[in-house]
Amino acid sequence: MNVLEIRGLVKSFTLHTIDGRTVGALRGVDLDVAQGEHVALAGSSGAGKSSLLRCVYRTYVPTAGRIVLRTSSGTAVDLAALTDPQVADLRGRELGYVSQFLRAEPRRAVLDVVARAGAARGLDLDAARDAAAAALRRLGIDERLWAMHTTVLSGGQKQRVNLAAGTISPPRLLLLDEPVSALDPANREAVLSMIAELAGAGVAVLSVFHDLDAIERLATRVVVLEEGRVAASGPPAELKLEVAR
């Protein structure tokens, strides 16, 4: 069963500060992601990969097209047509986003950031804190850092906190945008291992990695974008993949 169905997705930007011309980022994208499937987006820089993720999460408002999310109750909702408050209600609970950057309240402790994500998905406070602690331990975040503000963390530590928050009691659809870009080999392995388990938990994952090994290891299917359009789709082993640096 498809969790996400994208049809005719178009996203254009108007360059008001330059000459007012319109630039197309996505030009009629069709894409599905099924329950328990990990679909990785590939393509050169500027192909539209991150723009697609941001349209699904509704950081960007699509210019045209439909983005249908089937929620845990079985209801199909068009994210492209929802109001901002309606989208906000789905975020975290049904729809999650993990980027390479941690955007958290500056005075919020590490454990609280992760636990709040679990609470937003229905865990009670004690269960959320227990799940947060387990995720932080698994991802190698030293316990002495848990009470500290997130602003003191290194880039790699912030990425791991981001992933911990995104994967405890995971949402129905999880979007991953470069979640391992700042990690050393040992921590990268822990993160990839955790991501690999999401499919077995029935989570639908749509990702962007500038890491061919991660794509080949994690993705059940790859969708290659070129100039905002789908150029190819299939299992990683059947596609000749190149990743943008």
Mean pLDDT by 10 residues, the chain (245 residues): 97 74 87 97 91 96 97 95 94 87 76 93 94 95 93 88 91 92 84 90 93 90 95 88 53
Q: Is the dihedral of CA 49, 53, 59, 62 positive or negative?
A: positive
DSSP-based helix, strand, coil % in the chain, nearest 5: 35, 30, 35
Q: How many structural domains is the chain composed of? A: 1
What pLDDT does 27 receive?
Answer: 95
**Considering the domain boundaries, does residue 128 fall inside one?**
no
What pLDDT does 19 receive?
Answer: 67
Burial class (CB in 10 A: 0-12, 13-18, 19+), 234: exposed
**Considering the domain boundaries, does residue 180 fall inside one?**
yes
Q: Give the C-alpha separation, 240 to 204, whole Å.
A: 24
* Helix (H) / strand (E) containing 224: strand 221-226
**Considering the domain boundaries, does residue 190 fall inside one?**
yes
What pLDDT does 185 receive?
Answer: 86
**Considering the domain boundaries, does residue 213 fall inside one?**
yes
CATH code (residue 203): 3.40.50.300
What pLDDT does 93 receive?
Answer: 84
The alpha carbons of the chain give a radius of gyration, in whole angstroms, of 18
SS3 at position 66: strand
The counts of H helices and E strands in the chain are 7, 10
**Considering the domain boundaries, does residue 130 fall inside one?**
no
Q: Which residue has the tokens 């804190």?
A: 129
**Considering the domain boundaries, does residue 244 fall inside one?**
no
**Considering the domain boundaries, does residue 133 fall inside one?**
no
What pLDDT does 109 receive?
Answer: 93
What pLDDT does 151 receive?
Answer: 85
Q: Give the C-alpha separation, 219 to 237, whole Å.
A: 10
What pLDDT does 235 receive?
Answer: 92
| 103-126 core/surface letters (b: 16 or more CB in 10 A; e: else) | ebeeeebbbbbbbbbbbbbebeee
**Considering the domain boundaries, does residue 80 fall inside one?**
yes
Give the residues across from 222 on adjacent strands: 40, 234
Q: Tell me the residue range of the domain where 209 lies.
A: 2-101+156-238
Half-sphere exposure of residue 229: CA atoms within 13 angstroms, side-chain side: 4
